[in-house]
Chains A and B, each alone.
Chain A
């Protein structure tokens, strides 16, 4: 599928054109053209193996790390190719951050977890480091819960807190786009609600793409929803439309639970 009309009023922050991703001979993503509108949440839904996570990981070149993976087509950030010379993978991943399904805090203190990316980026000024960390923890809605124990191990936090810590860590380097791969699938409903509430707040400043198997979650958090099936982008549209009146039969079957 080459182009599907989208109903995004916001400017495109990221855009793919005819993106094809292969693992060896097998195409995992087939000719996908999709726009992530600025400061909106795009949900990527579809059954397992439909290519949505592969697509997400392509947006900050995480697939480069997988042997045998290759990509063709275009991926644009602010209208410029992410493979162009002006942008190396490290800088790209600073601008396009990622939060994974399983929270993966480093076995370090809460403070050091958030400071990690900043230190790698060369920031050593203690006061600025402290400010940036506080701001990130505030943004991740975790500050009030950890402000009195920043020196304690991150491993002592609950699963939901660990996930918000990972979000704080991603936010610390001030990205522009945030990619989330099933960020709440391992969390209880309260922790999930906190993450979803956080996504609502974060979209005022960031462009967000979220992969989720939980369709109600996609419906709750996103502005537009893209349905992937067997590597193709079947349909993309305003989330309300996808969940009330999808245009494609395959989308209809998926959101109503009619996939065998």
Chain B
């Protein structure tokens, strides 16, 4: 942004909203890292912490919603401000959902901790690293308005999908080997699925960043009616 708003209070309100979204993103990042560590290190206490801290993420969603509504009602934002507010309203839903997915992974950690360890979790750790990096990059793109970075996020989602498929097949194999593995393999399979979904939400974030910066909607390119460009 070349200049700042003449109304300094408005400028501060927008900045506060941006900061809050970032803080929320930081908590989500922490949650996903902790939840996966809870799986790989069989750390029950850490898993419980993730569940507890999700409440803070939920509270922040409500706060961000309220801030957006207030700005819409009182400031009638236009142009880039309007795109920022509509983006905020959408990505806050993704972030909250990502927090829930971290909780889901933590719950799988709790399941898995009740039985002896049976399979290596390095692929799961890898998918978690990728998913976390995606979120980090999407948040970076959001703060700096960096479309190229957002597009990178959108492209890298395939890596996560491929890794998920690998874990899926691996677990399927273990289930076929021995039916005693089914419970634990299913838990790992689910954990992988939650992480894969986490990555999808990071992609949603990145798509909204492109909209926020350029004003063009890049979502669902294959679902568009012919002749209707992103508006």
The listed residue with most A CB atoms (<10 A of its CB), out of B77, B80, B83, is: B80
Write out, one digit per residue, whether chain A residues 32-47 have a CB within 8 A of any chain B CB (1) or not (0).
0000000000000000
B140 within 8 A of A: no
CA–CA, A252 to B80, complex, Å?
Answer: 7
- Given A244-B215, A245-B215, A249-B2, A256 and B83 contact (CB-CB distance below 8 Å): no
Nearest to B76 among chain A residues (CB) is A216
B10 at the interface (CB under 8 A from A): yes
Given contacts A215-B78, A243-B78, A244-B83, contact A256 B215 (CB under 8 A): no
Inter-subunit contact A258/B6 (CB<8 Å): yes
Q: Nearest chain B CB to A259's CB is how many angstroms away?
A: 6
Interface bits B200-231 vs A (CB < 8 Å: 1, else 0): 00000000000000111000000000000000
Residue of A216, A219, A252 ringed by the most chain B CB atoms within 10 A = A252
**Contact between B3 and A244, CB atoms less than 8 A apart:** no
Residues in B with CB closer than 8 Å to A260 are 3, 6
The answer to whether B2 and A256 touch across the interface, beta carbons within 8 angstroms, is no
A216-B82 Cα distance, complex, nearest whole Å: 13
B214 smallest CB distance to A (angstroms): 8
Assess whether B7 is interfacial by the CB under 8 Å rule.
yes
Interface contact B82-A258, CB-CB below 8 Å: no
Closest to B216 in A: A245
With contact pairs A244-B215, A249-B2 given, residues A257 and B82 touching in the complex (Cβ less than 8 Å): no
Q: Which of A216, A243, A259 contacts B79 (CB 8 A)?
A: A243
Bound together, the chains give a CA A257 to CA B80 distance in angstroms of 11
Whether B78 lies near A258 (C-beta < 8 A) is no
Q: In the bound complex, do residue B78 and residue A255 qualify as a contact, i.e. CB atoms below 8 Å apart?
A: yes
B122 interface contact, C-beta 8 A = no
A246 on interface, CB distance cutoff 8 Å: yes
B62 CB → nearest A CB, Å: 27
Beta-carbon contact of B76 and A244 below 8 Å: no
Q: Would you call B5 an interface residue if the criterion is a C-beta within 8 Å of the partner chain's C-beta atoms? A: yes
The yes or no answer to B81 lying at the interface (CB within 8 A) is yes
Give min CB distance, B140 to chain A, whole Å.
23
Contact of B83 among A215, A245, A251, A253 (CB under 8 A): A245
Complex contact B5–A258 (CB within 8 A): yes
Q: Which of B1, B7, B215 contacts A257 (CB 8 A)?
A: B7
Alpha-carbon distance between A249 and B216 when the two chains are bound, in angstroms: 17
Choose one: A249, A256, A259; the contact of B77 (CB below 8 Å). A256
A219 to B77, CA, bound (A): 12
Task: Digitize A8-41: 1 where CB-to-B-CB distance is under 8 Å, 0 elsewhere.
Answer: 0000000000000000000000000000000000
CB A225 to nearest CB in B, in angstroms, measures: 11
Residues of B with C-beta under 8 A to A246 = 79
Give the contact-size bracket for chain A: 10 to 19
For A219, the closest partner residue in chain B by CB is B78
A142 to B213, CA, bound (A): 46
Which of the residues A219, A245, A249, A257 comes within 8 Å of B5, measured between beta carbons?
A: A257
Digit string of B96-126 for contact with A (CB within 8 Å is 1, else 0)? 0000000000000000000000000000000
Is residue B179 within 8 Å, beta carbon to beta carbon, of the partner chain?
Answer: no
Given A215-B78, A244-B79: A257 touches B6 (CB 8 Å cut-off): yes
Q: Tell me the bound Cα distance from A260 to B5 in angstroms.
A: 8
Rounded to whole angstroms, the CA-CA distance of A259 and B77 in the bound complex is 15
Q: How far is the CB of B8 from chain A (nearest CB, A)?
A: 11
The interface bits of chain B over 1-19 (1 if a CB of A lies within 8 angstroms of the residue's CB, else 0) are 1111111001000000000
Q: Are A256 and B81 in contact, with the CB atoms below 8 A?
A: yes
The contact string, 1 if C-beta is below 8 Å from chain B, for chain A 229-260, is 00000000000000111100101110111111
Out of A243, A249, A259, which one reaches B82, CB within 8 Å? A243
* B81 to chain A: closest residue by CB: A256
B83 partner residues in chain A, CB cutoff 8 A: 244-245
Task: Write the chain A residue with the least CB distance to B75.
Answer: A257
Q: CA of A253 to CA of B78 in the docked complex: distance in angstroms?
A: 10
Residue on A nearest B77 in the bound complex, by CB:
A256
Would you give the shortest CB distance from A14 to chain B, in whole angstroms?
27
Contact A256 B4 (CB under 8 A): no
Whether B5 contacts A256 by the Cβ 8 Å rule is: yes
Q: Whole-angstrom distance between the alpha carbons of A249 and B4 in the complex? A: 13
Q: Would you mind naming 15 contact pairs between A and B with Cβ atoms under 8 Å apart?
A: A244-B78, A244-B215, A245-B79, A245-B83, A245-B214, A245-B215, A245-B216, A252-B79, A252-B80, A255-B79, A256-B78, A257-B7, A257-B10, A258-B4, A259-B3
A255-B79, A259-B3 known, 19 other contacts, Cβ within 8 Å = A215-B78, A216-B76, A243-B79, A243-B82, A244-B78, A244-B82, A244-B83, A245-B83, A245-B216, A252-B79, A252-B80, A253-B2, A256-B5, A256-B80, A258-B1, A258-B3, A258-B6, A259-B6, A260-B6
